[in-house]
């Protein structure tokens, strides 16, 4: 089946609200593509101004994080209902930086996935291996464990609608990129795992992105692979080159 491409920018901890508005205005004419879902995943403080700034365009807004409770004494956190009310459609869950720096484990991420789905948000669920894991040949074992844990108890119908982002940790922000064949191999392995856990129809429906230094120069080759349905873009999403990534498949 033909899966619609999805290109999402992960701004990370970049862009003040005023800088965010300037970037959105710069990118507006560059990211127009009726055949691709375009998402800006922005810092919490930028969500409301960016949601307002992209109204009437082809861009949706995502959050970079959320907590597992709807409300309460969780100083500094942001809840799924808050995101929905602000106009957010997507949320990144399980990025390697959250797993590493903030020690978010798979049980916690599983709770996040379920909370996001219950609230009507689309999770962008991240997975990926370190350089050491790749070099010792356990890439797929590690990724299978992540995905099985993070999707435990999630229904096939819900999995069909979420996004999985494969991000080799060794290629994030390093300038190194998995070759198109390496990226395809893992993305196909992820799709095969979804078929194993659920069924072929679910595996055919779920969208799998590649993240890890995708940019204007390599996007077309990566997106041409049959099991790569888009990209989760870091540094290249903060400049005009993001438009070239969005339109790389044309």
Instruction: Please indicate whether residue 95 is annotated as part of the active site.
Output: yes
Give the residue from 66, 57, 188, 201 showing the smallest Cα distance to 120. 66
- Per-position b or e across 117-132, b if 16+ CB within 10 A of its CB: bebebbbbbbbbbbee
> CA 229, CA 113: separation in Å to the nearest integer?
20
* Catalytic residue, candidates 64, 95, 97, 129: 95
* Catalytic residue, candidates 64, 97, 129, 167: 167
- Encoded tokens for 127: 């997975």
Cβ-contact 61, 15 below 8 angstroms: no
Instruction: Please indicate whether residue 167 is annotated as part of the active site.
Output: yes
Give the residue from 250, 181, 188, 189 showing the smallest Cα distance to 222. 181
Q: Which helix (H) or strand (E) holds 53?
A: helix 47-53
Cβ-contact 119, 81 below 8 angstroms: yes
Across-strand partners of 38? Answer: 7, 59
Q: Which residue numbers are catalytic?
A: 95, 167
């Amino acid at each position: 089946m033909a899966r619609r491409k999805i290109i999402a920018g992960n701004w990370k901890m970049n862009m003040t609200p005023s800088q965010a508005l300037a970037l959105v205005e710069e990118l507006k004419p560059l990211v127009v593509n009726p055949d691709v879902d375009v998402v800006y995943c922005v810092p919490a403080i930028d969500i409301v101004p960016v949601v307002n700034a992209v109204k009437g365009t082809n861009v949706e807004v995502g959050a970079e994080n959320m907590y597992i409770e709807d409300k309460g004494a969780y100083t500094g956190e942001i809840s799924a209902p808050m995101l929905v009310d602000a106009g957010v459609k997507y949320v990144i869950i399980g990025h390697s930086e959250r797993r590493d720096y903030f020690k978010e484990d798979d049980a916690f991420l599983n709770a996040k996935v379920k909370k996001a789905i219950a609230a009507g948000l689309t999770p962008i669920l991240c997975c990926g291996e370190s350089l050491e894991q790749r070099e010792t040949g356990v890439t797929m074992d590690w990724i299978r464990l992540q995905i099985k844990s993070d999707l435990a108890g999630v229904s096939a119908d819900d999995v069909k609608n979420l996004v999985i982002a494969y991000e080799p940790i060794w290629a994030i922000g390093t300038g190194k990129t998995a070759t198109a064949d390496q990226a395809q191999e893992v993305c196909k392995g992820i799709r095969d795992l979804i078929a194993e856990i659920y069924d072929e129809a679910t595996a055919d429906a779920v969208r799998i992105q590649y993240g890890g230094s995708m940019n204007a120069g390599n996007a077309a080759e990566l997106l041409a692979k049959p099991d790569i349905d888009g990209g989760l873009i870091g540094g290249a999403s903060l400049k005009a080159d993001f438009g070239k990534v969005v339109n790389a498949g044309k």
